[in-house]
Amino acid sequence: MKRIKPFDFSKWKPTPTPDEAKECLQSLENGQVLYFPNLNFQIKAQEQESFSSNLVKPGRKNISYDLSSDLTKACEANLETQNIIHEMMKRFANCALEFVQCTFPQYKKHLITGRTSFRPVEIKGRQNSSYKKNDTLLHIDSFPSTPTNGKRILRFFANVNPFDIPRVWRLGEPHKQVIKRFLPQIKSPIWGSRSLMNRFGITKSYRILYDHYMLHIHDKMKMDQSYQEKVNQEILEFPPMTCWMAFTDQVSHAVLSGQYAFEQSFYLPVEAQDSPEKSPLNYMEKLLQKSLME
């Protein structure tokens, strides 16, 4: 199976044929990256003029936007520029939402819209506070403070670099191999630790076993230098004016370089998948022979 699957959609409100919709669904759930070389998120001249890596608050990686509250966070600029960035992010969030809803009609009523991020900082040479935050290392997505409660993480990306610079990714091995390799190395959580983390606000909700194992797989992958070098992998370049998406909790990925990109997160209950058995949750439960929703 190829790691990437191109589709020639060029509109933000695509009307896929039933066959196309089925192909999108199967490719995504099989763990391929869906690539849209003809889908361009248009940046306005005024927006491009405000592009700078200094837009991000010191200590933060990205500017974030929340469609439901219509609030932008971590943008540092004068009021006029902040408004320009805010409007651009809102427009992207709406485009991404519409695109995903039209391309995956089966997911539409179950899909939860998460944060939008604008990433104006060059990845290459970017400082990270810890190896766990270093996204140039292969990983599957899992975040310490935001458990998914078993939901899938679906992410939609757009490269909007105005200087013809691609966003360069690495893609690793299929998720079953990742899980088989790292899951046996992970200990059960310490009794009571997850309730304490929840009570003290270290996690935004209770970290269920699934999130515990996913987070430790994420950390172990990034920590294992020889794995990073030796595992079967492929480098991919996403040119400017293209988009792509994947279940990033399933696809082993890393970003090597690039500047100016958007990302829109979505969450999807496993039951809403066409084939829930293809999820990391179901695979880990099968291997461990127990429910991980606790």
Q: How many CB atoms lie within 10 A of CB 57?
A: 14
Beta pairing class for 63-66 and 71-73: antiparallel
Q: How far apart are CA 91 and CA 85, in angstroms?
A: 10
Q: How far apart are CA 280 and CA 228, in angstroms?
A: 20
Q: Which stretch binds ligand SIN (CB under 6 A): 178-186, 199-207, 218-226, 253-261?
A: 253-261
Q: How many residues bind ligand SIN (CB under 6 A)?
A: 8
Contact call for residue 249 and ligand SIN (CB under 6 A): no
Q: What are phi and psi of 171, to 5 degrees?
A: -125, 135
Whether the CB-CB separation of 118 and 47 falls below 8 Å is answered with: no
Whether the CB-CB separation of 118 and 283 falls below 8 Å is answered with: no
Q: Where are the alpha helices (DSSP H) in the chain?
A: 18-29, 45-49, 79-103, 175-182, 193-199, 209-223, 225-230, 280-288
Q: How far apart are CA 179 and CA 214, in angstroms?
A: 9
Beta pairing class for 4-6 and 63-66: unpaired
Contact call for residue 167 and ligand SIN (CB under 6 A): yes
Q: Residue 12 touches which of ligand SIN, Fe ion, none (CB < 5 to 8 A by kind)?
A: none
Contact call for residue 219 and Fe ion (CB under 5 A): no
Contact call for residue 218 and ligand SIN (CB under 6 A): no
Distance of closest approach, residue 136 Cβ to Fe ion, in angstroms: 10
Q: How far apart are CA 168 and CA 121, in angstroms?
A: 14
Site for ligand SIN in 70-129 (CB under 6 A): 119
Residue 182: C-alpha distances to residues 95, 219, 247, 276 (Å): 37, 10, 19, 22
Distance of closest approach, residue 69 Cβ to ligand SIN, in angstroms: 23
Q: Residue 3 touches which of ligand SIN, Fe ion, none (CB < 5 to 8 A by kind)?
A: none
User: Of 135, 211, 219, 249, which lies in the binding site for ligand SIN, with binding defined by CB under 6 A?
Assistant: 135
Site for Fe ion in 106-165 (CB under 5 A): 141
Q: Which stretch binds ligand SIN (CB under 6 A): 20-28, 93-101, 104-112, 247-255?
A: 247-255
Contact call for residue 222 and ligand SIN (CB under 6 A): no
Contact call for residue 261 and ligand SIN (CB under 6 A): yes
Distance of closest approach, residue 155 Cβ to ligand SIN, in angstroms: 7
Contact call for residue 142 and ligand SIN (CB under 6 A): no
Q: Residue 194 touches which of Fe ion, ligand SIN, none (CB < 5 to 8 A by kind)?
A: none
Q: How many residues bind Fe ion (CB under 5 A)?
A: 1
The site for Fe ion (CB under 5 A) is made up of: 141
